């Protein structure tokens, strides 16, 4: 590798190694185990699907491969965008490279290699499937190295295309904002695909019988002109033994990749020289309209720290595109599941299935909204620590800030599921009260979890709570759910048993037994309160003893 390029790549690898070594060894080992356990079956499954398709659908190999490469290209285009932006256009370390006597081409190639990492990871799964197709179809040995080469070329094509698109977008949008929006789109796409798979495709593939691929063939015929299908044509020609055709498609793919890289490099250089990307560029978007006149305050009385924190959080949340964009994908999953599980075909019985849905959604919403409450203060937390404000007041303020949106969602959701399942007014009220109770408990526990192990320097809310805090929040929430559902069951069944209107197996349905069940419910409610209160108590102690410095983040 030539001089500067080699130095930059070596530095990147060194930084990666250092980041890896800095991590907690236990967490690293756990991540490795999870990757192996989850990744192994996925890759084996992809290979098996490829082998099956290659063996049993020889007539459909060309559309299948063309569709696989096209689908992969679309997925990479959407999901890999944030990495491309982060590598090529954002990051203070880029400034150092730009001011150093290094050719922009070297910077571009080094960063392009880095930018390709996300796309390479995504393409690895498709590669395994494509290799499986070759194995199933009895392809010549040449098929396999060509498949690897084509996958690599496709990654280069898409990454270069993303770089080209960004050089155009950056003329109007600052790089950081573009990255955040791209991350949100990628997240929404990922969540949408996952939902679509779970709600639709899994059932389709689960059915016995031969799949009908006529629609797939028809689609591929319509997009046959797209360069994304060329690698598929190369490989199907190789399987058929048409080496001249394969060579033509292969050359076309490689020439396209080279052209796109050259164009991307040219535009990248111009973008940097124009002062866009890392230099900020179109910062006007991050500015607010200048105020023309200051409206005199009519408020009276002493300022309230809790209200001040609430106002500050609301303004910050509204203006922080990054936080907003990262919350959206998180919210898509529970809402999608809720809609799916509310369908008439679900197996759970009416009321208790609604209780399960309300519990799940409440827990998820609280985790997404309340867990980052304390860590999202970032360096501003020091300001709160210096103020004459006890930490329990801060915790209380954070709970009260996160509670209304969770409560509102729970209210709307409870009414929706109760109406969908044709529940009576009584059950609707029970569901709403239960939902409100859960929201209060889960929000308190989630805020406590975030305060127990805050990562104030995390720029991403999803990583702002450490392992200890996450475990405390999850464990606490699960415990709170069990206790709350138990208490609800105690109240509802106890009332029926006391009235002699229920049968619960061998237990006699007498008023004393009913009262005992209701008292058991009360004890469970007390235990749930103690659980949430205990976690808040620990959180308060942790915040009071917090001493670490918090470096500024962007």
Shortest distance (Å) from residue 379 CB to other proteins: 5
- 39 CB neighbour count, 10 Å cutoff: 12
Size (the chain), residues: 554
Interface pick for other proteins out of 24, 274, 304, 510 (rule CB under 8 A): 304
Stretch that binds other proteins, among 181-189, 300-308, 357-365, 471-479 (CB under 8 A): 300-308
Residue with tokens 């977008």: 169
Binding flag, residue 380, other proteins (CB under 8 A): yes
C-beta closer to other proteins: residue 387 or 433: 387
Estimate to the nearest angstrom the gap between the alpha carbon of 126 and the chain centroid: 21
> What single string gives the DSSP state of each residue in 376-412?
GGTTHHHHHHHSS--HHHHHHHHHHHHHHHHHHHHHH
Binding flag, residue 287, other proteins (CB under 8 A): yes
Binding flag, residue 301, other proteins (CB under 8 A): yes
Binding flag, residue 283, other proteins (CB under 8 A): yes
Interface pick for other proteins out of 296, 344, 345, 426 (rule CB under 8 A): 296
Shortest distance (Å) from residue 552 CB to other proteins: 6
Task: Please count the residues of this chain forming the interface with other proteins, following the rule CB under 8 A.
Answer: 41
Shortest distance (Å) from residue 374 CB to other proteins: 14
Interface pick for other proteins out of 20, 21, 99, 294 (rule CB under 8 A): 294
Q: Which of 148, 77, 86 is closest to 114 using CA atoms?
A: 86
Stretch that binds other proteins, among 4-12, 165-173, 298-306, 437-445 (CB under 8 A): 298-306
* Residues in contact with 334: Cβ distance below 8 Å, sequence separation at least 6, in sequence order: 360, 361, 364, 365
Binding flag, residue 303, other proteins (CB under 8 A): yes
Report d(CA 292, CA 285) in Å as an integer: 19
Binding flag, residue 288, other proteins (CB under 8 A): yes
Binding flag, residue 92, other proteins (CB under 8 A): no
Interface pick for other proteins out of 215, 291, 343, 347 (rule CB under 8 A): 291
Shortest distance (Å) from residue 300 CB to other proteins: 6
Stretch that binds other proteins, among 178-186, 195-203, 244-252, 379-387 (CB under 8 A): 379-387
Binding flag, residue 270, other proteins (CB under 8 A): no
Binding flag, residue 307, other proteins (CB under 8 A): yes
Geometric angle at alpha carbon 203, from 200 and 204, rounded to 5°: 85
Report d(CA 250, CA 248) in Å as an integer: 5
Shortest distance (Å) from residue 314 CB to other proteins: 10
**Per-residue buried b or exposed e for 57-84, using 16+ beta carbons within 10 Å of the residue's own CB:** beebbbbbbbbbbbebbebbbbbbbbbb
C-beta closer to other proteins: residue 136 or 174: 174
Binding flag, residue 319, other proteins (CB under 8 A): yes
Distances (CA, A) of 478 to 238, 368, 530: 54, 15, 14
Estimate to the nearest angstrom the gap between the alpha carbon of 122 and the chain centroid: 15
Distances (CA, A) of 366 to 41, 428, 441: 32, 21, 9
Binding flag, residue 390, other proteins (CB under 8 A): yes
The interaxial angle of helices 104-137 and 3-22, nearest 10 deg, is 70
Report d(CA 459, CA 90) in Å as an integer: 14
Paired residues of 504 in beta bridges: 507
Interface pick for other proteins out of 227, 245, 316, 336 (rule CB under 8 A): 316
Stretch that binds other proteins, among 217-225, 227-235, 258-266, 302-310 (CB under 8 A): 302-310
Residues that bind other proteins (CB under 8 A): 283, 286-291, 294, 296-305, 307-309, 311-312, 315-316, 319-320, 379-380, 382-390, 545, 547, 552
């Amino acid at each position: 590798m030539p001089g500067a390029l080699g130095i930059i790549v070596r530095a990147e690898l060194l930084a990666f190694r250092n980041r890896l070594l800095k991590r907690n060894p236990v967490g690293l080992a756990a991540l490795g185990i999870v990757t192996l356990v989850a990744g192994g079956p996925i890759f084996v499954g992809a290979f098996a699907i490829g082998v099956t398709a290659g063996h049993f659908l020889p007539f459909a190999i060309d559309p299948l491969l063309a569709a696989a490469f096209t689908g992969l290209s679309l997925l990479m285009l959407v999901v890999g965008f944030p990495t491309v932006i982060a590598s090529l256009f954002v990051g203070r370390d880029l400034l150092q490279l730009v001011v150093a006597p290094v050719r922009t081409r070297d910077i571009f190639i080094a960063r392009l290699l880095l930018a390709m990492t996300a796309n390479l990871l995504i393409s690895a799964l498709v590669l395994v499937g494509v290799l499986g197709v070759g194995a199933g179809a009895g392809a010549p040995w040449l098929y396999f190295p060509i498949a690897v080469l084509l996958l690599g070329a496709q990654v280069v094509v898409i990454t270069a295309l993303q770089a080209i698109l960004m050089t155009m977008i950056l003329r109007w949008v600052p790089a950081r904002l573009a990255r955040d929006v791209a991350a949100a789109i990628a997240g929404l796409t990922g969540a949408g695909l996952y939902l679509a798979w779970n709600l639709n495709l899994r059932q389709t593939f689960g059915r016995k019988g031969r799949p009908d691929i006529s629609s797939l063939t028809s689609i591929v015929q319509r997009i046959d002109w797209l360069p994304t299908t060329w690698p598929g044509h190369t490989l199907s020609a190789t399987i058929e033994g048409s080496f001249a055709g394969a060579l033509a498609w292969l050359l076309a793919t490689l020439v396209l990749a080279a052209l796109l890289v050259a164009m991307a490099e040219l535009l990248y250089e111009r973008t940097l020289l124009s002062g866009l990307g890392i230099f900020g560029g179109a910062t006007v978007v991050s500015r607010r309209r200048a105020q023309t006149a200051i409206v005199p305050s009519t408020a009276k009385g002493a300022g309230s720290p809790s209200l001040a924190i609430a106002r500050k959080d609301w303004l910050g949340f509204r203006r922080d595109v990054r936080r907003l964009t990262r919350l959206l994908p998180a919210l898509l999953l529970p809402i999608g599941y809720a809609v799916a599980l509310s369908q008439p075909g679900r197996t759970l019985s009416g009321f208790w299935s609604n209780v399960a849905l309300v519990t799940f959604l409440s827990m998820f919403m609280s985790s997404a909204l309340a867990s980052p409450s304390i860590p999202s203060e970032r360096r501003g937390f020091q300001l709160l620590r210096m103020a004459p404000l006890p930490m329990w007041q801060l915790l209380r303020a954070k709970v009260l800030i996160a509670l209304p949106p969770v409560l509102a969602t729970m209210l709307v959701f409870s009414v929706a599921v109760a109406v969908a399942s044709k529940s009576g007014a009584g059950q609707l009220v029970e569901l709403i009260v239960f939902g409100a109770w859960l929201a209060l408990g889960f929000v308190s526990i989630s805020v406590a979890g975030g305060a127990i192990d805050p990562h104030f320097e995390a720029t991403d809310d999803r990583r702002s709570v450490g392992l200890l805090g996450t475990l405390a929040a999850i464990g606490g929430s699960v415990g709170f759910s069990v206790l709350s559902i138990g208490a609800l069951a105690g109240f509802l069944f106890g009332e029926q048993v006391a009235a002699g209107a229920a049968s619960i197996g061998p237990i006699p349905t007498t008023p004393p037994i009913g009262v005992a069940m209701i008292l058991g419910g009360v004890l469970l409610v007390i235990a749930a309160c103690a659980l949430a209160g205990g976690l808040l108590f620990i959180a308060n102690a942790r915040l009071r003893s917090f001493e670490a410095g918090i470096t500024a983040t962007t």
